[in-house]
Amino acid sequence: MTKTHTIKNNTMQKTVLQHIQQSNETLFSFELLPPLKGHDFESTEQAIDPLVEFDPSFINITYHQQEVVYENAGKGLLRKQTIRKRPGTVGISAAIKYRYGINVVPHIICGGFTREDTENALIDLQFLGINNLLVVRGDPQPGTRVFVPEPDGNEHALDLIEQITKLNNGIYLDEHLENTRSMDFCIGVAGYPEKHGESPNMDSDLYFLKKKINAGASYIVTQMFFDNQKYFDFVKLCREKGITVPIIPGLKPISTKNHLINISKTFGVDLPVDLVKEVLKCKDNKEVRQVGVEWAIQQSKELKAANVPVLHYYTMGKSDNIQKIAKEVF
C-alpha cells in the first residue's frame, strides 16, 4: 500500500486563504506579466518596487502558452514552429519570493502542457516552497478559436484542479510510486462577473465554477470589470448557488483609448457610458491614463467600503498607475 506524508517545509509561504482568514481589512495584491525573453529581472523589479510600500499580500504571475508560427521553408512549403515569447512562471515566481519575501501565486494553465509536464512543474514549485496557484485553462492559441489541449494534457481547468487535488492527497501519475509525499497547494480559480465568453449563459458558467470549488479550489479571482454592480451581482449569484469561498475582485485601470475597443473585444466586458465619455474627451493617452486612475480609485473605495477580502490589480507590467490608486485607497 502506498504511504503518504505531508511535506514539512519552513520556507512554505502563507496561503491566499490564510491571508484572507487572518485579516480584518481589505488586502492589496496585484498581477504581473513575466518579462519577455531576452530581458532580465530588472524590468520585473521596476514593476514591483513602486508597490512594495503598500504591503502586497501576494503577487500573481501570469503564464502565456506557446504560440505556433509558420515559416517559409522554400518550394512553397511552410515549416511549423512552436515558440514561447515569455519564460515560464516557476523561475520568476521563485526570484520574486526570495528577492522580496512576498508570497507569489503562479498561474498554472492547461495549454502547452501534458499532465506529466504539469506534475513536474508542481513538484518544482513545492520544492521551492511555493504553494499558491491560480488555475485557468488558458486561451486558444493565437489565430485559432477553439482550445486544443496537448496529447495527454488537461482539456479544462476542472481537469487541472482534479490533478492538483490528487497530488495534494499524495496521488501521482505513476501509480507504482511508494512513500509519496502529499502536496499542499492552495488553489484559486477565475470568475467572470459578466460570464466567460465561451459560456452560453451565466447559469452554465456558475454550474462549472461550483464544480471547480467542489473539486478543490479555495477562492475565486474575478476578471476585470468597470461597474462594481457587476461584481456585487456576481457575488450574490454565487452565494445563491452555494459557492461560499472568498471572491476577490480584479481591477484594471484603462490606460489607452484603444482599450475602449480591445478590452470589450478581448474580455467581453461592458464599459460604463460615463467612463467611455470621459475617455473620449481626452486629447492623448496621458489624459486617458489619468481618467483610468480616477475611475479605479472610485471603484476601489466603494469595494473596500463593502469589505471585499482583497483588491487585486492587473498591472500588465506597468505599475505607475496602480501606485497612484493604492496611495488613495490603502
In the chain, where the domains are located: 4-329
Tell me what percent of the residues of the chain surpass a pLDDT of 70. Answer: 86
pTM equals 0.88
Cα separation, 188 vs 245, whole angstroms: 10
pLDDT per residue as tens digits for the range 263-276 = 988 888 999 999 99
Cα separation, 111 vs 141, whole angstroms: 8
CB-CB neighbours of 54 under 10 Å: 18
Q: Which of 65-74, 197-206, 250-259, 296-305 has the lowest mean pLDDT?
A: 65-74
Average pLDDT over residues 316-328: 92
pLDDT per residue as tens digits for the range 159-172 = 999 999 999 999 99
What pLDDT was estimated at residue 155? 75
Grid cell of 265 as nine digits: 473585444
pLDDT at 4 over 50: no
Cα separation, 116 vs 122, whole angstroms: 10
Measure the CA dihedral 166/172/174/180, to 10°: -130
Map grid coordinates 516557476 to a residue.
90
**Helix 320-329 × helix 285-305 angle, to 10°:** 30
Q: Model confidence at 185, in pLDDT bands (50, 70, 90)?
A: very high
Cα separation, 218 vs 298, whole angstroms: 28
8 A C-beta contact, residue 81 and residue 69: yes
| Type of residue found at 284 | D
CA torsion sign for 140, 143, 148, 154 is negative
Cα separation, 28 vs 251, whole angstroms: 11
What pLDDT was estimated at residue 70? 54
Residue 197 or residue 158, greater confidence:
158
pLDDT per residue as tens digits for the range 197-226 = 788 999 999 999 999 999 999 999 999 999
Residue 21 or residue 318, greater confidence:
21
Q: What are phi and psi of 27, to 5 degrees?
A: -95, 165
From residue 267, give the alpha-carbon distance in Å to each of 171, 196, 313, 319: 36, 8, 16, 21
Cα separation, 160 vs 106, whole angstroms: 14
Residue 161 or residue 115, greater confidence:
161
CATH 3.20.20.220 at 4-329, yes or no: yes
Partners of residue 108 on adjacent β-strands? 135
- Alpha helices, DSSP H only, in 101-201? 115-127, 157-168
**H or E, element range at 28:** strand 27-32
Cα separation, 278 vs 128, whole angstroms: 46
